[in-house]
Amino acid sequence: MKKRKIGKSTLEVGAIGLGCMGMSEFYGERDEQESINTIQKALDLGITLLDTADMYGVGENEELVGKAIAGRRSEVILATKFGNVRNAKGEFLGVSGRPEYVKSACEASLKRLGVEVIDLYYQHRVDPNTPIEETIGAMAELVHEGKVRYIGRSEAAATTIRRAHVIHPITAVETEYSLWSRDVEDEILPTCRELGIGFVPYSPLGRGFLTGQIQKFDDFAQDDFRRFLPRFQGENFNKNLVLVDHIKELAEQKGCKPSQLALAWLLAQGEYIIPIPGTKRIPYLEENIGAVNIQLTSKDLKLINEIA
């Protein structure tokens, strides 16, 4: 596994990380032991950045990750998040960035994960009712207390990232980015490059669509949240399939899988980018890792860009 540094931190991780959200919620059936096996296999193969959040499975995902890394803490760069508030039933209660909530959420995550320190702690969503300076100030205190090593932002605007960075260095920004979700190219990526902030794309495979495995709407399980996203519905679904077909053709020419081509394209966008494709199955994990060995020429990149 090739290595990359996250921003200006001392965190060196595998060039591809692992998103753990789908192991506990949102993407159909769950199998705890299979997920634990997948996380441990990821570590064996050189993936070191594991990404979770307190809201995934209402804390269950952090507990799952904690079980998987027990006895292997030194091999892991652990990232989790706070801010999306849910009750025990899973109902969404809003977003909180209040200082007192930041600290209580951190303590709860440390306990569920079974660790003494979180390597990278993200504010999951911006709280419009709490000045960002107050939230980041509380996160900075967690760093000074030794409970968090570095802090990050998820789904924040460029201006908010800049305001936060003034209060305490932001190490990473996590936001959706893939061949078919490219909003961040306008302001977020330039801001991260300028400030020396690492960028961690979630859903780098277009929520599974860019793998080529999804061919019809009914491929989604009844409890799969993708059924409710506009990009997967009606004419949008059919139009997006055309994009995937083009990616498939190019992947065949390169002798790789569509998923590997999509990840290789992301990796080629800059050394500061570390995608975290999510999977709960070892075959897909191994497939994703293969992307680090795919070399894309400037001609390839131009063609992919035109397709997308």
Cite the active site residues: 56
The letter for the amino acid at 156 is A
- The angle, 0 to 180 degrees and rounded to 10, between the axes of the packed helices 258-267 and 234-254 is 80
Q: What's the token pair of residue 144?
A: 């000074």
Q: Is 27 exposed, middle or buried (0-12, 13-18, 19+ CB in 10 A)?
A: buried
Cβ–Cβ contacts within 10 Å for residue 112, how many?
Answer: 19
Q: How far apart are CA 303 and CA 150, in angstroms?
A: 37
Query: CA torsion angle for 156, 158, 162, 165 (degrees, to 10)?
Result: 40
Q: How far apart are CA 83 and CA 170, in angstroms?
A: 17
Q: How far apart are CA 121 and CA 79, in angstroms?
A: 6
> Is residue 123 within 8 Å of residue 93, measured between CB atoms?
no
294: phi then psi, degrees, rounded to nearest 5: -90, 125
